């Protein structure tokens, strides 16, 4: 009976979380999904993703927490203006969203680019960050999938409108619809990739995608790294989660970050690629919930932050490797 009730509760939370809500910040529409009650967990998606990345994770976490999954500017149902799409700008936007929603602090969970944004948020606003969860995170080393490096190069903004045409999406969308009608459901991973891909048929989304890519990646790889500041994360409980078959950002980045962040926790899922929130949503949700329940939220004073910055004896980092 208890199991049945729990399943029903999850379905109810899933339905609640399916509704996209909107607020207006600095004149721009910002979309997000929210469910549950309790201490806040903020979920941050990756490049070309949206709050829907967390559809299968959010209901389980919402059983004991308030969970917010936002569409970052330039993504999902949020506005896509000609704007600053750097990780610092995204961190500022997260701070503003929490302020508008009258939330003081959050455990921040970031996937891919969202991990880099989460680290930037903790760095810029340590007083607002309870914990960090980095899921196949960007910003921890140079290596990244070659396709993203190509997109960061000159001329990609002229190629994308040709490759990402609505006509092509329409044809493949019809094939998908037929498969669903005959009972052949899509693989969740392929569904997530396809959702991200189809979102880029809009010219504004394509422009935001290219600007976002170029803010963190160039033809040589990732060009924004937090490695030289990871010693600061000693003050913030940090969980690092990766798939051992990640073809976008190598799992070696997880091990390197684990060594550089004192007292961090590392979990590597076997047989999993880059999209853990889609490939292993239940296990990921359980892991995040366990991490939150077994750690105390960070409490970093201004004086402590100053001490860390002025007296820390962090191991020197080779700038050519970050």
Reduced to 3 states (helix: H, G, I; strand: E, B; else coil), residue 10 is helix
Is-contact 136 245, C-beta < 8 A?
A: no
Residue of 50, 246, 253, 258 marked active site: 246
Contacts of 165 (CB under 8 A, 6+ apart): 201
Respond yes or no: is residue 215 known to be catalytic. Answer: no
Residue of 45, 111, 258, 274 marked active site: 274
d(C-alpha 180, C-alpha 177), whole Å? 5
User: Ramachandran region of residue 38, left (φ > 0), alpha (ψ -120 to 50) or beta?
Assistant: left
Q: Report CA 178 to chain centroid distance, whole Å.
A: 32
- The Cα-based distances of 62 to 12, 34, 219, 251 in angstroms read 11, 9, 40, 28
Respond yes or no: is residue 26 known to be catalytic. Answer: no
Is-contact 314 235, C-beta < 8 A?
A: no
Q: How far apart are the first and last CA of the chain?
A: 52
Respond yes or no: is residue 246 known to be catalytic. Answer: yes
Is-contact 289 64, C-beta < 8 A?
A: yes
Residue of 34, 78, 112, 196 marked active site: 112
Which positions are annotated as active-site residues?
112, 246, 274
């Amino acid at each position: 009976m208890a199991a049945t009730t729990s399943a029903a509760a999850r379905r109810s939370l899933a339905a609640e979380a399916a509704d996209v809500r909107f607020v207006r910040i600095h004149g721009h529409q910002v979309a997000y999904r929210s469910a549950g009650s309790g201490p806040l967990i903020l979920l941050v998606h990756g490049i070309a993703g949206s709050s829907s990345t967390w559809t299968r994770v959010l209901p389980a976490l919402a059983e004991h927490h308030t969970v917010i999954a936002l569409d970052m500017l330039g993504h999902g149902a949020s506005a896509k203006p000609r704007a600053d799409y750097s990780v610092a700008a995204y961190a500022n936007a997260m701070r503003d969203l929490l302020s508008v929603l009258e939330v003081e602090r959050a455990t921040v969970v970031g996937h891919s680019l969202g991990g880099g944004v989460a680290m930037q948020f903790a760095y810029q606003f340590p007083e607002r960050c309870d914990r960090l969860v980095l899921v196949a995170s960007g910003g921890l080393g140079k290596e990244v999938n070659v396709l993203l490096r190509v997109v960061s190069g000159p001329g990609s903004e002229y190629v994308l409108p040709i490759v990402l045409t609505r006509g092509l999406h329409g044809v493949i969308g019809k094939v998908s619809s037929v498969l669903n009608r005959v009972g052949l459901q899509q693989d969740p991973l392929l569904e997530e990739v396809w959702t991200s891909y189809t979102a880029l048929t809009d010219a504004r989304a394509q422009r935001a995608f290219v600007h976002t890519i170029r803010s963190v990646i160039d033809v040589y790889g990732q060009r924004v790294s937090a490695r030289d500041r990871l010693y600061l994360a000693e003050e913030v409980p940090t969980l690092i989660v990766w798939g051992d078959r990640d073809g976008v950002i190598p799992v070696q980045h997880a091990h390197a970050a684990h060594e550089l962040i004192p007292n961090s926790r590392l979990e590597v899922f076997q047989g999993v690629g880059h999209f853990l929130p889609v490939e292993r949503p239940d296990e990921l949700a359980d892991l995040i919930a366990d991490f939150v329940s077994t750690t105390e939220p960070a409490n970093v004073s201004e004086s402590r932050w100053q001490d860390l910055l002025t007296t820390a004896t962090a191991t020197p980092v080779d700038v050519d490797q970050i």
